Chains A and B, each alone.
Chain A
Amino acid sequence: MTNTPAPTTSAVEHGTSSAASRLSRALAAGRARPWLPLLAAGAVVVIVYPFLASTYLLQIGFQILLYVAIGEAWNLIAGYGGMVSLGSAAFIGTGAYTLAELTGHGFPLVAAVVAGGAIAAVFAAAISPAMFRLRGVYFSVATLALAEALLLLISTISTFGGTTGLLLRSAVPSYLGLYWWGLGCAALSTAIVVWLLRSRLSLALRAIRDDQDVAQEMGVHAFRTKLVAFVLASFIMGAAGALQSLNTAYVEPSGSFSLQWTIDIVTVVIIGGMATRVGPWIGAVFTVVLVQVLASYPDIHDAITGVILILVIRFAPRGIWGTAVTTSARIRARGARGE
C-alpha cells in the first residue's frame, strides 16, 4: 500500500474524484453495520441447519460449533492478547471431568456445564500469577508443560478412574439437543469475545500484546487485563470441554487432556485468521470439513494439517479471513483508482 502513487492534483479535480467520493459515501453508509446482513444470514443458516441435517450432519455441526467456541477463546488470548497458549487441553479436560463428576452426583446438565467452565476458570486464575511471569514463547512452553503435567496427574487419581477414565452416568442429550447446546456455547463465546473487544479492555489487551513494557508505562494494568482475558477464555474452554464429554459419553485422560485439542485449536484459529473477528468460524468449518475430506486417509490427516499450518503461517499469516479482507480492500482501492 505504501508504494501507491499519490493522486495528482488534476486527477482529484476531475473524473476519478467523483468515483472515489461515491465509493467512500457508499462505504460510509455501509460502515454503520456492514456485518448485519452477514450475521442475519449466518443466524438463519445455523438455526435452519439442524432441521434439514441428518444425524451425521448434526454431529458435524456440533463439532464445528464446539471448535468455534474454543477457537473464539483461543483467538481472544493468543490473537488479541499475544498469549499463545499451548495448554488448552488442560482447561478442556478440566471441564470434561467436572461434568462427568457432577452429573454422576445428580447435578442438572446446565449446572454441570456452567460448573465445567467455572472450575476451568478458577484453575486458570490460580495458575496465572505463575504463568504471567513468563512472556511470549516462554508462556507457550509453560502452558504446554502444564497440560502434560495435568494429563499425567489425572491418570494417577483413582477417583477419576485413572487412565481408564469415567463413564457418564446420566442421560446424555440427543444429537439434536447436543447441536443446540453447541450452538448456544458458540454463540455465547462469540458474544463474550465481541463484548470484550468493544470494551476498553480490548485496547489494553492489544497494547500489551504489541509491547507490554510500553503499555505498562502508559498506565495499563497488564496483570489484571491478561487475567480477565485468560479466565474468560478458560471458562469457554471448560464449558466446551463439558459439552464434548456429553458427546463422547465418557472421559479419559488421553482423550479429554489430549494434545490433539491444542493442535486442533491452533489449526482453527491460524487457518481462519488470528486476531480477526470471523476467523474462528471460518477456521472451524475448514478444520472439521478437512477431517471429513481426509476421512479415507486418516493416517496422513495430521501431517497434511501440519503442512497447511506451515504454509499459512508463512504465506498468509492473517489466515483465510484476514487475507480475504486485505485482498478485497486492495481490489476496492484499485477499483476506486479506476485501474
Chain B
Amino acid sequence: MYLPTATATEQALLQGFLLGGLYALTALGLSLVLGVLRIINLAHGEFLILGAFLGYYWLQRTGVDPLLGLVVVAPVVAGVGFVVQRWALSPLVRHGDEPALLTTFSLSIIGQNLFIILFTADSRLINRSYGFRALRIGAVSVPEIYLISFAAALVIFGAVHLLMQHSAFGRQVRASAEDPVAAAVVGVRVRRVHALTFALAAGCAAIGGVLAGIAFSFDATTGTSYLLTGFAVVVLGGLGSVAGTLGGGIVLGVVESVGAAVFGDGYLDFIGLMVFLVILALRPQGIFGWARR
C-alpha cells in the first residue's frame, strides 16, 4: 500500500468518475428490471456480453465502427430479451420470487455455455483506436473511451428518464411497477409492459456491453463480474431510480479507482464487491428499505 501523489489522486478521481458512467450504463438494465418487474436478473451480464460479442463480430464482418453498429446490436439483444421474458419469466409471475431468480440463474448458465459454443472461450477486445488512446487534460490523462462512454451514459440515461417520466409507455411502466393489479384493472397490458421493459433493459445492457468491450477485454464468462458490479451500482444508487443508478455508478467508479490506486490494480473487483457487501450489511434498510417485505 502506498499513498498516491496529488496528480495520481486527481488522475484516479477523474478516471473513476468517467468510468462510473460506464458502470452506470452496464447497471441500468438491472435497475430497470428490478424496479419494474421486481426480478433480480442474474442473466443480466449475459445480455451485456451478448452485446459485446455482437459488437465484436459486427466490426469484424462489416468494418463499420461498432458505435454505429449499436443501432443494430441493441435492438437484436432487446429482441432476445423480449422473447426470454415472454417464454421463460412471464409464466412464473404468480409463483413468488425464488423460481424467477433461479430461472434467470439457469439462463445465465445457458448463456455462458452458448457463448463458448458460438464464440469460443477466447478473450476478446473490440479493437478501436479510441479504446486505448489517452486524452491529456492538464497533468492527467484518461482513455478516450472513458469519455465516450460517459457521454453515451448521459445520453442513454437522459433518454430513459424522458421515456419513463414523459411518455405514455413510461406512465404504463410506472403504473405496472407501483401496483400491477390496479394497473391491469385500468387497462394497462401489464404482461406486455413487463416484456417491453425487459427488452429495453436488455438493449441498454447491449449498449453498455459494446462500450465495455471496447474499453476492456471480455470472454464468455465475464458477464458474472459485470452482474456483480451492476448490483454494487444498484445498491449504492438506491432502487428503481434511474438518476440514482447514474449516481451509484459514479460513486462506485470513484471508490474503485481510488482504491485501486492505493491497494493496486489487482484489488479493483474485490473493492467493488466489498463496497457492495458493506453497504448491504450496514444500510440495507436505508438503501434497500422496500426490500424487507
Q: Chain A interface (Cβ within 8 Å of chain B)?
A: 82, 84, 86, 129-131, 133-138, 140-142, 144-146, 148-149, 152-153, 156, 259, 263, 266, 270, 299-303, 305-307, 309-310, 313-314, 317
Dominant secondary structure of chain B at its interface with chain A: helix
Task: Verify A156–B267 contact, CB threshold 8 A.
Answer: yes
Bound together, the chains give a CA A134 to CA B278 distance in angstroms of 12
Contact size range, B: 35 or more
Check if B156 is an interface residue, CB within 8 A of chain A: no
Given A84-B101, A130-B277, verify A306-B106 contact (CB < 8 Å): yes
Bound together, the chains give a CA A270 to CA B291 distance in angstroms of 25
Task: Verify B102–A313 contact, CB threshold 8 A.
Answer: yes
Check if B274 is an interface residue, CB within 8 A of chain A: yes
Task: Verify A142–B92 contact, CB threshold 8 A.
Answer: no
Task: Verify A142–B109 contact, CB threshold 8 A.
Answer: no
Dominant secondary structure of chain A at its interface with chain B: helix
Report, nearest first, the 3 A-B pairs whose CB atoms are least far apart.
A130-B281, A306-B110, A303-B113
Task: Verify A306–B107 contact, CB threshold 8 A.
Answer: yes
Check if B1 is an interface residue, CB within 8 A of chain A: no
Task: Verify A135–B293 contact, CB threshold 8 A.
Answer: yes
Residues of A within 8 A of B273 (CB): 145, 148-149, 152
Task: Verify A144–B113 contact, CB threshold 8 A.
Answer: no
Residues of A within 8 A of B266 (CB): 156
Residue of B nearest to A299 (CB): B117
Check if B231 is an interface residue, CB within 8 A of chain A: yes
What distance in Å separates the Cβ of B105 from its nearest Cβ neighbour in chain A?
Answer: 7
Bound together, the chains give a CA A144 to CA B117 distance in angstroms of 25
What distance in Å separates the Cβ of A178 from its nearest Cβ neighbour in chain B?
Answer: 28
Task: Verify B91–A266 contact, CB threshold 8 A.
Answer: no
Bound together, the chains give a CA A86 to CA B292 distance in angstroms of 19
Check if B163 is an interface residue, CB within 8 A of chain A: no
Q: Which of B263-288 contact A (CB under 8 A)?
A: 266-267, 269-270, 273-274, 276-277, 280-281, 284-285, 288
Check if B99 is an interface residue, CB within 8 A of chain A: yes
Interchain CB contact (< 8 A) of B293 among A136, A145, A259, A266: A136
Task: Verify A303–B117 contact, CB threshold 8 A.
Answer: yes
Task: Verify A148–B224 contact, CB threshold 8 A.
Answer: yes
